[in-house]
Structure 1
């Protein structure tokens, strides 16, 4: 079987790394399985792309479509035009897409129009918020997918309700956790550790990039001011997403304990998360990592596509109102945050299960 694997943005890289490892192991054992890695170029900043390939031991892509930049529509169109040419020149038995970024949707559409089967890793997750670009990507991708690899029973049920038949759903676990478990011994201190004189469990990590939180300067300012006011003087480390940086430039937020940095590498960022008192975020993937590491997590969103991080893990959905932060922070400082557990099959062997299913497909 010949598989084309798609990677386009930072969340994809953590998900494809263990799959490539598992394919290599299977091939070395005599299994007839090969892959071609296509990087769409959706993320083109070195910190958010090339450095992840290097740190996670992902091989150089066989093709880089260099389709980054532009509006949502321009980026989608560029990826589709360039991937169509790529897939026509290098046909595959199956195109494997991961996650919910623009590249996931765009390459799924192209593959199906060229009569190529599609497998979706992390299928079936839903936020219920159609205003999120990622939700559109999930719905379109899952409408076209042939084989669904899922992270939870909740995702399985979402797919069943949409009419997907049982034999096409494979509950395998979470490849992001495969990567986290493998890389845990290699996590390393970022420069801000020394700059801010950080101590374990005595600082906060903040990440914000969702439109509801960062597109309006006033909302972003109030959120950060509330976080700072409730931090009891502990350092607040804020790696700033490029999307957020543009708004933040005029927000005028400053405090002695606020440390704003550029985007961090995977190994540095997760070192910070692992040692943090808590994480305050609007990211979905980070809630999965905090759940496995047992770190309290506050999500500044009204909905989540990863409810298992709340039901089983250490995450709590607060909403986007700054007023929701105070009671959550009070519980945290009182030592009353829930301990949480690890969802089923988040055990570091998800990619192995995915490849096991792939080689059985006819």
Structure 2
């Protein structure tokens, strides 16, 4: 309410310009702020502070370590063990897969050799059967008085034996083909199982590494962006317990957020010059209007105007200080 009353009192001021004409200005109360506001960093878990690695007023880059917790040592060990497990799973899995790939090739090659040998046996058995059959046919064409019945029976018996050998050789060839297909399929199935097991083991090991790496990250409080450390709220040996540990902000450029009475907002536009004064300021700060707010506060009936300061050095030491704002319109 106090801001609304003061904004109304200071709403429109008239000063003499260089050309003798009155300069119209709008006055209001404002507050010095960094561009992204204050960043308050807390530790979400109940860890113990081991070391504060920065000082108040120090400028840090994004990712810089601010506070180190005691859990860092144990979590580094946890990550190292997880990485070793991942490496072991990779090496053992790769070795098992390589051995099974060799076994598959060996199974295929041995099967091919066995089939080649048996195919040759079939060829030999077929030739023997053909020879026995032709010899029988030749003897059947000779006068029966010359060839005895016993001799004819022997020839017929030889044909039957040769025929049986050929049939057996062909059956063995079929059996070898089926056995080769089955053994090759089993070998390849085992290879697939080993590949899948390796992938599963690697996935589980990678997950443990990722979790360990994330836990290690939580053991160090780091700057989320470039900025200056404004306040440190922790000491070595204290328990974090979810409270704010460090406050930081980007101090370049600095801004003033002015609370402008709703009736004057339409008179203000980006680029207008503004003068900033305050009890703690040694002189007047100058700036330009950057944005004009569109939302009116229901209680104070004011809107926010954001002014970018041309010189941020003095203002950066007085963050959140209330100041008087005069905007030349």
Q: TM-score, normalised by structure 1?
A: 0.17
Greater relative contact order (Cα < 8 A, sep 6+): 2
Greater fraction strand: 2
- Structure with bigger gyration radius: 2
